[in-house]
A = this chain, B = another copy of it.
Amino acid sequence: MTDSRSKSSNSLLIEKERRRNSLPDCTYCPNAKFGIYSTTQKSNPELVSQLRTSVVMYQSDQIILKQGEPSKQFGSLRSGWAIVHKTLENGRRHILAFLLPGDAVVLDLLAIGSNPLPYSVNALTPASVCWFPTERISHLLRHEKEQRRETQFWMSYYVSTFSLRTSMIGHSTATARLAEFILELFTRLRYRNLTKGDGYEFPPTQPQIADCLGLTPAYVSMTMSSLRKRGILEIHDRTIKILDERELYKIANGQN
């Protein structure tokens, strides 16, 4: 990852101003209904728009949140992909998660408050983020009964997939990890209607996949091409196509 500078607070203010004049309210946001505050979105769309303090655009690779620094804002990814990554003491990088439109930019914020973050968040593709004051959105997400249930559901989902990933890395072969990875993204994108038939746009580079699954780029390449040769995948133009979902699922579960 090359070093990129974070958005200056100056341009952030400009963005904020721009929103007041031109940005649509959240009522028609295509992603809000897949995010953590969708319940409130339905019952009271005004509330979400009001709370939002800014919408910020990021270029590929730009820093959204920085490891070691606290964040006073809670973000929701409006468009584009982002990665959550952590630099270890020995200098290596690990990618903890890929974020998709509608995902919270670090769900943990609700729990950890303004403590220093144990990881960074960077834009993977050009992306935009809606920002909210952490305390206030946190209150909103826990206040009303239905919304609290939804928040807990998402938290639960988050904990669940994270613990699955941890186990997978420990116990599965490279092929199984890769299959699981591709399927997970497919499922999550399908839920958001962001798939193209049995395929989807696939921006991660192989070094990034490697850093996420604990492999080397060279081996990711070999594993991917093996999946291609077996007629399970196809890749053209940064777009992945799943030819045999059933088989891919089997592989992800270690049945071969």
User: Are the C-beta atoms of B164 and A214 separated by less than 8 Å?
Assistant: no
Task: Out of B112, B113, B159, B166, name the residue touching A112 (CB < 8 Å).
Answer: B159
State which residues 99-128 of A face B: CB under 8 Å: 108, 110-116, 118-119
Query: Is A237 on the interface with B (CB-CB < 8 A)?
Result: no
Query: Is A90 on the interface with B (CB-CB < 8 A)?
Result: yes
User: Are the C-beta atoms of B96 and A166 separated by less than 8 Å?
Assistant: yes
Q: Which residue of B lies closest to A160 (CB)?
A: B118
Task: Out of B86, B149, B169, B254, name the residue touching A169 (CB < 8 Å).
Answer: B169
Across the A-B interface, the 3 shortest Cβ-Cβ residue pairs: A170-B214, A94-B167, A113-B152
Q: Which residues of B contact A156 (CB under 8 A)?
A: 108, 111-113, 115-116, 118
Interface SS of A by simple majority: helix
Measured in the bound complex, the distance between the Cα atoms of B149 and A112 in whole Å is 9
Measured in the bound complex, the distance between the Cα atoms of B159 and A213 in whole Å is 19
- Copies of this chain present in the complex amount to 2
Q: Which of A89, A148, A160, A170 has the most C-beta atoms of chain B within 10 angstroms of its own C-beta?
A: A170
User: Are the C-beta atoms of A163 and B96 separated by less than 8 Å?
Assistant: yes
Measured in the bound complex, the distance between the Cα atoms of B117 and A163 in whole Å is 11
User: Are the C-beta atoms of A163 and B118 separated by less than 8 Å?
Assistant: yes
Q: Which residues of B contact A88 (CB under 8 A)?
A: 164, 167-168, 171
User: Are the C-beta atoms of B167 and A96 separated by less than 8 Å?
Assistant: yes
Task: Out of B90, B164, B213, B255, name the residue touching A255 (CB < 8 Å).
Answer: B90
Q: Which residues of B contact A149 (CB under 8 A)?
A: 113
User: Are the C-beta atoms of B112 and A111 separated by less than 8 Å?
Assistant: no
Q: Which residue of B lies closest to A149 (CB)?
A: B113
Q: Which of A88, A119, A254 has the most C-beta atoms of chain B within 10 angstroms of its own C-beta?
A: A88
Measured in the bound complex, the distance between the Cα atoms of B111 and A164 in whole Å is 18
Query: Is A165 on the interface with B (CB-CB < 8 A)?
Result: yes
- Whole-angstrom distance between the Cβ of A96 and the nearest chain B Cβ: 6
User: Are the C-beta atoms of B112 and A155 separated by less than 8 Å?
Assistant: yes
